Amino acid sequence: MTMPRRRPGDSSGGTEALGPAAYRALYENSPDGVLFTVPDGRVLAANPAACQILGRTEAEICSLGRQGLADLTDERWPRILAERDGAGHASGIARMLRADGTPIEVEMSARIFNSAAGEERTCTIIRDVTDRVLMELELRRSRQRLAEAERVARTGSWEWDLANDRISWSDGLLAIYGITWDDFNPSAAAGIEKRVYPDDRRRVAETLERAISERSSFTLEYRGVRGDGRVRTLRSHGEVIVDDLGEPIRVVGIAQDITDSKLAQETLQNTSSELERRATELQDLARRTGGGPEPRRHAPLTTRQMQILGLVAEGLTSAEISRRLFVSEATVKWHVKQILTKTRSSNRAEAVARVLGASR
């Protein structure tokens, strides 16, 4: 016996032609749990999938009812039950309890209907989504940890989808630039035009183009313009991601705000230069007040080199100096070599005599 085919526009057949046997097969073989309840929460029937999900027999499920199956400490339950639409449909994710007390996250969809006798019933489809919910929770926690780490380290991450020319930024990078998602433009060209200092734009664009062409990594230092107009110095490291054919598809990178460390480095360099200048002046003063012929001038020594030369004048070896200054012996020897070069001396004694005076 063959089933009659439906003609276009024919409203007969469809679900009406399936009959009770088809609905019974669907109910019993569905991978999702099916519960039939009455308005007060009593369960009239539960299919095999519902029994497996809840770890209970159908009789246990019916005896417990909705109140006994739900984890009533979960504040999502009242909201799901209260937010029915005009058709009596409600959906959401809430926690239920298995027979052994294990909590599970269940995605449900419930709809009210009337039985053949006109009595109100609810059909609820349930699905165990515990693994998905836990993964989403861990993902949110990971994002929170990343955001906190970026905030502390003053770093941010970014990704450029080359095919669609779309750039995405992390919250940390938005914070560095002092902008919100509403101010963010996902176009790479717009980002360079608006967020990179004018004098650095060409260099940034050329670095990115070269890295994509060569499928290489890059490190770039440039000045970024914040949303309030202030300029910050950033260091960005990126990698080009390619597909199986070796074609570039994405560029990913991290950026760090190094403005404060850059200023500190410049201050330290200026201080070091000033100390070297003063050391030279003191050497000149010592020569003038010490009498005798003035030795040949030499390149200025750093503060550390003057310290090491003083210990050399006391007769200490490189090993002894390294222990005195808590540095490696190789570092001491490197400084000594620099001293000999700067003073044009052939040995340590000659360097001591030229810088500190023969009397030492």
Domain ranges of the chain: 21-128, 150-257, 283-356
Looking at residue 283, its pLDDT comes to 64
pLDDT digits (tens, 9 = 90+) for 139-162: 888 777 777 777 776 788 989 999
Strand partners, 250: 161, 241
112-147 burial: b if 16+ Cβ within 10 Å, else e: eeeeeeeeebbebbbbbbbeebeeeeeeeeeeeebe
Which of these CATH numbers, 3.20.20.80, 3.90.550.10, 3.30.450.20, 3.10.180.10, describes 21-128?
3.30.450.20
**323/327 Cα distance (integer angstroms):** 7
CATH 1.10.287.110 fits 283-356, yes or no: no
**355/181 Cα distance (integer angstroms):** 62
Looking at residue 2, its pLDDT comes to 41
The CB-side HSE value for 215 (13 A sphere, CA atoms) comes to 8
Q: Which two tokens stand for residue 148?
A: 């906190």
pLDDT digits (tens, 9 = 90+) for 304-343: 888 899 899 988 998 888 888 877 888 888 889 889 988 8
pLDDT by 10-residue block (mean), the chain, 360 residues:
44 59 89 90 93 95 91 86 69 92 92 86 92 88 76 83 92 90 86 91 94 92 92 92 91 90 69 66 65 59 88 90 81 88 88 72
pLDDT over 70 percentage in the chain: 82
Judge if 21-128 and 150-257 fold alike in CATH terms.
yes
Helix, strand or coil, per DSSP, at residue 253? strand
Q: In what order do the strands lie in the sheet with 89-97?
A: 43-46, 33-37, 120-128, 103-114, 89-97
Q: Are 355 and 343 in contact (CB under 8 A)?
A: yes
**According to the 3-state scheme, what is the secondary structure of 110-155?**
EEEEECCCCCEEEEEEEEECHHHHHHHHHHHHHHHHHHHHHHHHCE
**110/329 Cα distance (integer angstroms):** 78
**According to the 3-state scheme, what is the secondary structure of 295-354?**
CCCCCCCCHHHHHHHHHHHCCCCHHHHHHHHCCCHHHHHHHHHHHHHHHCCCCHHHHHHH
Looking at residue 87, its pLDDT comes to 62
Q: Which two tokens stand for residue 131?
A: 């693994």
Which of these CATH numbers, 3.20.20.70, 3.40.50.1220, 3.30.450.20, 3.90.1150.10, describes 150-257?
3.30.450.20
Q: Are 239 and 144 in contact (CB under 8 A)?
A: no
Looking at residue 285, its pLDDT comes to 66
Q: Which two tokens stand for residue 233?
A: 């110095």
